[in-house]
Structure 1
């Protein structure tokens, strides 16, 4: 079983399991572990991520879950596969007021579509948010019209 950690030299300078995600860097999400079918990230509590009640904003939770779920979806080949979120359903179970850990797993992966589920837990281990999502698999680095290598590693196209 191949496990990818943040300091894995195979990932080069891209810290988010092989890709650069400026928004995740902006909110301070920390990738921790990636292995086939599983992803784990951590979000330190920050004042800028709180709502008017002092809880972690729901949009922050959803963004971190979307990334963590998508990492699990592409975990079978994270350097060559990207994903596009097709659908995501989120349920808020309680207020988030501490550092958070996000864990996601693949429920089923087909040749083009992946189904995942995940959760956010607070420092006491309480689930504060759960989500399920569907992702479309895409090749990284192919030209959308021709399928030929584009020279741009951020370009993605749908898998055949």
Structure 2
């Protein structure tokens, strides 16, 4: 699934994160947590939810027309509001862009459609090294 931009990210694939859409400063990603992604309360582990928020924000920063550009997390703040159960949907939106940084907010909604977690983050956009693009091609 992470090959949406020509680059495979094994951890994103392991979590089963699906890219629904991204571009124009917004993103929508989805995942269905499996039992191995749960905490002791039978809900998605906070680290799993944070990863979904992180990837959702990164994709809000990216544009499909620039497949060789990646977003790197500089900082991130997360707030957990309620259990993340069932199919989780992540929604990201760019708040502000500068020459070198992108400021983004994201929410994760649980299966009932309630916001279960929120995050804000700062990302820097970087050209991916040619070696990453070559590795992506050889992994397919």
TM-score (norm 1): 0.77
Higher relative contact order (CA 8 A, sep 6+): 2
> Alpha carbon RMSD of aligned pairs, Å?
2.0
Matched, 1:153 2:133: yes
CA contact under 8 A between 2:83 and 2:110: conserved in structure 1? no
* Aligned-partner SS, 2:4: coil
- Counterpart mapping for 1:23-62 below 5 A: 23-62=11-50
Written as runs of structure 1 = structure 2, the 5 A alignment for 1:3-14 is none
Pairing 1:123-138 to 2, within 5 Å after superposition: 123-138=111-126
Q: Which has the larger radius of gyration?
A: 1
What does residue 3 of structure 2 align with?
15
Q: Given the superposition, is the C-alpha separation of residues 78 and 120 from structure 1 closer, same or farther in structure 2, using an over 3 Å criterion? A: farther
Q: More helix by proportion, 1 or 2?
A: 2
What are structure 1's unaligned runs of at least 5 residues?
A: 1-5, 7-13, 142-149, 156-160
Give 5+ residue unaligned stretches, structure 2: 136-140
Contact residue 120 and residue 128 of structure 1 kept, 8 A: yes
Q: Describe the shift of the 1:58–1:78 C-alpha distance in structure 2 as closer, same or farther (beyond 3 A).
A: farther
Following TM superposition, by how much is the alpha carbon of 1:96 offset from its aligned partner in structure 2, in angstroms? 1.2
8 A contact 1:37–1:76 mirrored in 2: no
Deviation at 1:45, TM superposition (A): 2.9
Equivalences, count: 135
